[in-house]
Every structure is written in structure tokens, then in C-alpha cells.
Structure 1
């Protein structure tokens, strides 16, 4: 059975994601789709609008056959480590033949040429990034500029810069770099993004809107407002989660515990937290005393500068909420790769893949957290507990069951 891998967050799954799944099957000729998906907290440092089990259901209804969780140690990271963790999981299944990612350009050839140059992380790249950071650029902008400056023959530096300014192109480049570094035989493919742009805040005229636009509709007016832009199964799942009080999840649900943590930590303690760099611990202490209201939005607005993007700051706050230290998220630790394949859900075809993986996987395949121990898995369980504590109705039933659902729940089966 041929399988194509996709790397997703589905926050939430919308019609554009269905297009990507369909294109992944078409371009690869695969019989099945393996999705690596972030858990309760996402790459941009945000809580997912609905939980990972609900998003797994969406994925399986939309055409994925097997969903594997990306450990939170990789999920809440800059693109380099997010991509490395996700690609490593696909590689270690032993059943994935290809990887299909979305891109604005659809230009796989140019991205591959750049990836070949950057895979060994030449000294010139780091020096160029450092110089751009000293000049006040954000890290994403510094990386894109430095990568473009090292564009190989046949790729114009100006064209490369324009290419890498697009978020899906940039993330796709990191998938290609990860494949090179791992030495994987997985074949990369790309599907050109269609419809709304990645950050487009409002829906366009068609049935495809960006996840940003869909979330805005959901937060403003609830699930029915997003109906034109999501599959019927996604809409039903969103309605159910709203009714249960388990959605919408957003930063303000975490304001009380997070502000408490920030207010009761000395700068020396904050400095230990991942993403707290260049004196940000002191800035956080100063800003916390001046925010006009006790909200995460006010805190982010006060912290943000040209150098410190909202995404970096959100990841910092997620690491602070979850007590992720620099030591736990150090490059040398992340470079060892994920330690397990945690299955979130599967279809009948996915179940056949699981049987195949028992023979091919080079990591333990985990169906329930209670059967395995690993430092990364401990972080996943803690992340799920923190996420569940922010549910609106969590005092109305057995909160420990929600907090530690990773121990109790079997994978979703569709």
C-alpha cells in the first residue's frame, strides 16, 4: 500500500485542506494518507480552537487515513524544528513513500535547489542571519533574507527572497531541508495553494477561506458562520464542541494561570524558559506591571516590537504556561528526533497501515499513553492537561478525566 504524508494543524480543517488532501492523493498516486498533526498547542504558539481528538475526527472524515501526533516539544517551535520533528515521524513510520505540502508558488524545483545548499547549514548562513538580527530584523525575515542570499545557480536571489517571504513556501523549504538532513527516501511533492492567502483575514468570494478567516468567523459568530468554508463533518464537530463548552479555545481562556505564573516568577526563573532570549525576561517583568488590563492580548501588544514577532512571543508564553525549559528544547535535544509514534486516529485503511507499521516502524507505535513512558510524552500529557483546564464547563463534570484523557482515550476510529 502506497502512502503519502501530510503535515497539518487543522485549526480548524476547512475546504482548502480538503483540496490539499485530494491533491496529495492525486500527485502521489497513493492509496492512503498519513497526517502528522500538532496537538493542543500549535506552531505559531497558539492554543488550537478545538482539541486534538476533534481535529483528528475532522481529518479522518476529510480523507486522512492515519493521524499521528507531533509531540509538543516540536509542535511549538520555529519552522526548522517543527519541520524536522514532523518529517522525522513520517520517515520513521517506514510506510510513507511521499510527502506533499502546500505552497504559494508550486515551484518545487527552486525550493529543492535552495534546500540542497542550506541542508548542511553553511557558516555563511548563520553569519548572515546574525547580521540581519543585529540590524533589527525578526528571525523569520532574517532567515529568509540570508537563505535568499545563498541561492544556488539558476535561482535569482531576488526571486528567492520573494519566494521565501511566503509562509507556506518557507515552511516547505524546511520540510525539504529536513528530508535532506535525515537522508530520507521520501519523495517531496507540492500542491499549489488555491483560494485565500495564508494570513487573509476575511473570506473571499469562493468556498475556500484561510484558517485565519475561519477562526475569526468562529470567534465572532460561532460555528454556523463558518459553514460555507468547512466540510459538513467539520461543521458538525465544531457545533458539538461548542455545545460541550470545549470550544472556542483561545488565549484569553489561559489568562489567569499564565498571568499568575508570569507575576510570581523572578527574572532569573523566567530566563530558564524556552524562547526567553536576549533579556526578554526583564522586558516581561517590566511590561507585566504596566499592561492596562489583565489579558493575554494586552500583554502581547505591550511585548511586541519589530524584533520580537507576535509568533515568537506566543511561543514564549506557551512555553511559560507549560514550563518548557531551554534545556528541554535545546537544539541538541531536538536533533535526536521524536521518541515515538503516537496514534490519534485511523480509518479501516489506516488500521491496515498500522499493521504494516508494526513491521517497518523504527520507533515504538503508541495507541495509549499509559502503555509507554518518554520525556517528550510527559510534556504531551502535561500540555493536554493544561488545555483541558481551560474548558468553560470543566467544573461541571469529572475534570481529571478531561485533564488526563491521554491515559484514558483510545484512538479515534472512523
Structure 2
């Protein structure tokens, strides 16, 4: 069975995601789809709007066949490791033929060319400019984009322009991950339509809005769901309404977790904060100094107080998520991340997905985990704790919901 792989967050699943799913199946010629989805925390460091189970249910209701969880160890990482973790899982399944991602350009050839150039090396001048940019703490794509822009030239200018797009940048990392793994999966790209990655407003007269715009509408209160409804598949709207009525939604995002986060930061001395993944260059002292000066206790005011040109909001949000979840130690180092995820966690599946799981019994390179209680792995324990922390912030928290990893089977009804 020809199968396409998707790397997703579905926070929440909207019409743009439906377009991507259908186009991915179309251009890949696939009969089935496997989605690797971030769990309770997003790659930009934000808590998810809904539980991973509700978002997996949205995906299955829209036509995804198998939903796998991207471990929080990789979900809360910069693009390089986020992409590597997700692609590693798709490759390890042994049933995925291609990886299809959304991008601003919608073209795969420039990304393949750029990946080859990055791996092969460039001129001495560009390599020196790249080294300097990396030394300043920039990510590899950002550093390469700046170095290419400084050096000029047709190819370099084109590379800089391409890497100015967030989804093209992430797409480049998918391509690099495929090469790093020597994977036989083919990379494919779907052009993003209508809404941009960071567009915060609902577009008038269009059927596609960004997830950012949908969440912003939901944060406006009771009427927000009606505002967002035209941009959601009916199944997503139904699940959103159910979760909102049950008190299992976080439309306010980080502010719902402000109290436990601030408690974690206040009660830990700077030398302990320094152990948090991503903490560097005395940032722990900047945080400790900012806390007594906040006008009100909250995450937004904290981010505003510690944000600089070098420390972007996204980087700081990931750092705060690591601090909230008490992440530390060698598991978060490059050597550990380079080993990839150590299991394939199943969140839900369709009848076609069930067939894929049967095939994976023979093809998978990693243990396939259906019941968390049966696989006491340190990486999986991080996932379970992260889900419990997110669910504890719901308006109507429930212990069984917090620890659904132990109690609930994969989603099969949607």
C-alpha cells in the first residue's frame, strides 16, 4: 500500500490542513497517510489548545489513517531536531514511501539543491561568514541565510530568500534529515494557500485561515468558535465544541500555565535554572532578575521582559516549556538527540491504519507502543508527564484525562 507521511501539529485541525492532506495524497499517489503529530506542546514552545487525543481524533475524522506522537523530546526542539525526530519515526515505521510538507514556495527542487550545497560546502568566504553567524547563536538555516545574503550572488541570494520563509526552512530540514538517515522516502512539497504561517487575523471570504488566527478567535470568548467555524472542517468544529463544553481547552495558551511556570522559576536558583535545555550565556540570571520587576505575574509580561534580538520569542517559549516540565540532563544533548526516537507511539488509526500497523509488525525498526504502561522508557515518561501538566491546566481538570496515556486506548472511533 503506497503511503505518504506528514509532519503535523493540528493545533487545531483546520481547512488548510485538510487541503494539505488531500494534496499530499494526490501528488504522492498514495492510498494511505501517516501523520507524526506533536503532543501536548508545540515546536514553537506553546502548550497545545487541545489534548493530543482530541487532535488525533480530528485528524482521523478528516481522513488521516494513522497518527503517531512525536516525543516531546523532539517536539520542543529547533527545526533541525524537530524535523529529524519526525522523519526518523516515519522512516522507522517501514511503511511510508514519501514525506509531504507544506511550504511557501511549493517547490522541492530548490530545497534539494540547497541541501546538497550545504552538505558539500561552499566558498571559504561563505564558510567563514557561516561560522561567525553560528557563533552568535543563530540556527543553521538562519546563519546560512545571513551568510549567503552577505556574500551575494544569484544562488546565494536565492537561498537567503528561500530561508526567509518558515515552512521552506522547515522543509529544508526534512530534506536534510532524509539524507542524514539515508532514507528511501521521497520528499514532496505542497504550496501553502491563502493564509501565512503567522497570519493572526481571519481572512474575509476565504475558507483557509492559519491555526494562529483560529486560536486567536477562540481566545476571544464565547463567540470565537462561531467566528472560526467557516475555517474548520465540520468534524473539527464538532470536536472543538465538545472539548470546550467539557472544559478541556486552553484558548488562553501559556497564561493557563502561568502559575506553575512562575513557581518553577521562582523556586529554582539561577545555578539550577542554568541546567534547563537551551539556557545559555547567563540567561538564567536575566530571568531571575526580571521576575521581581514584573508589573503583574504572567507569561506574556515575562517574555516581554527577557526577549532580545538574539533571544527570540520562540526560543524563549521552548526554554520556558523545558523549565516547566523540569527537563534537564544528557537526554537533551546533541549526542542523545542524534540517536533518534526510541519507540513509535500510536495515538489512533482508521481501518486502513490498522492494516498499516499489521505491516509494521514486520517492517518497523523500533518498538510500536499501543499501551504506554507496557513500555516504561524514559523518553515516553517525558511524554506522559508533559500531557499531565497540560491537562492539569484545563478549566475542568480530571486525573484520568491528565493520565490518559495509561487509561485510554488509541482512538479508533471518530
TM class, shorter-chain normalised?
over 0.9
Which residue is 1:406 aligned to?
Answer: 405
Displacement of 1:289 in angstroms is 1.4
Displacement of 1:225 in angstroms is 1.8
Matched, 1:351 2:354: yes
Displacement of 1:141 in angstroms is 3.4
Contact 1:89/1:341 (8 A) holds in 2? yes
Which residue is 2:198 aligned to?
Answer: 199
Displacement of 1:146 in angstroms is 3.9
Displacement of 1:224 in angstroms is 1.9
Which residue is 2:18 aligned to?
Answer: 18
Matched, 1:234 2:236: yes
Aligned length: 408
Q: Superposition pairs for residues 165-204 of structure 1, below 5 Å? A: 165-204=164-203
Gaps of 5+ in 2: none
Matched, 1:142 2:143: yes
Runs of 4+ aligned structure 1 residues displaced above 3 Å come to: 119-130, 133-141, 146-151
Contact 2:95/2:363 (8 A) holds in 1? yes
Contact 1:384/1:404 (8 A) holds in 2? yes
Contact 1:44/1:76 (8 A) holds in 2? yes
Which residue is 2:292 aligned to?
Answer: 289
Instruction: State the distance in 1 between where 2:376 and 2:340 align.
Output: 16
Contact 2:12/2:49 (8 A) holds in 1? yes
Displacement of 1:348 in angstroms is 0.4
Can you list the C-alpha shifts for 1:63-99, whole angstroms capped at 9, x where unaligned?
2100000000000000000000000000000000001
Which residue is 2:387 aligned to?
Answer: 384
SS where residue 60 of structure 2 aligns?
helix
Contact 2:141/2:169 (8 A) holds in 1? no
Instruction: State the distance in 1 between where 2:241 and 2:43 align.
Output: 25
Contact 2:141/2:163 (8 A) holds in 1? no
Contact 1:273/1:319 (8 A) holds in 2? yes
Matched, 1:245 2:233: no
Displacement of 1:163 in angstroms is 0.8
SS where residue 347 of structure 2 aligns?
strand
SS where residue 68 of structure 2 aligns?
strand
Instruction: State the distance in 1 between where 2:192 and 2:75 align.
Output: 22
Q: Superposition pairs for residues 29-48 of structure 1, below 5 Å? A: 29-48=29-48
Q: Superposition pairs for residues 269-284 of structure 1, below 5 Å? A: 269-284=272-287
Gaps of 5+ in 1: none
2:372 alignment partner, one of 369, 373, 379: 369
Can you list the C-alpha shifts for 1:208-241, whole angstroms capped at 9, x where unaligned?
1111111111111332221010100001111111
Instruction: State the distance in 2 between where 1:317 and 1:123 align.
Output: 38
Contact 2:250/2:393 (8 A) holds in 1? no
Can you list the C-alpha shifts for 1:147-170, whole angstroms capped at 9, x where unaligned?
66799x9x6111111111000100
Instruction: State the distance in 2 between where 1:225 and 1:245 align.
Output: 19
Which residue is 1:225 aligned to?
Answer: 227
The 3 A distance-change label for structure 1 pair 72 and 385 is same
SS where residue 219 of structure 2 aligns?
helix
Displacement of 1:143 in angstroms is 4.4
Instruction: State the distance in 2 between where 1:360 and 1:135 align.
Output: 43
Displacement of 1:134 in angstroms is 5.9
Instruction: State the distance in 2 between where 1:369 and 1:121 align.
Output: 43
Contact 1:32/1:65 (8 A) holds in 2? yes
Relative to the length of structure 2, the TM-score reads 0.94
Instruction: State the distance in 2 between where 1:300 and 1:238 align.
Output: 28
Instruction: State the distance in 1 between where 2:19 and 2:143 align.
Output: 32
The 3 A distance-change label for structure 1 pair 317 and 135 is closer
2:337 alignment partner, one of 328, 334, 339: 334
Which residue is 1:64 aligned to?
Answer: 64
Which residue is 2:82 aligned to?
Answer: 82
The 3 A distance-change label for structure 1 pair 55 and 300 is same
Contact 1:291/1:298 (8 A) holds in 2? yes
Contact 1:116/1:180 (8 A) holds in 2? no
Can you list the C-alpha shifts for 1:349-397, whole angstroms capped at 9, x where unaligned?
0001000111100100011100112111010011011111111112xxx
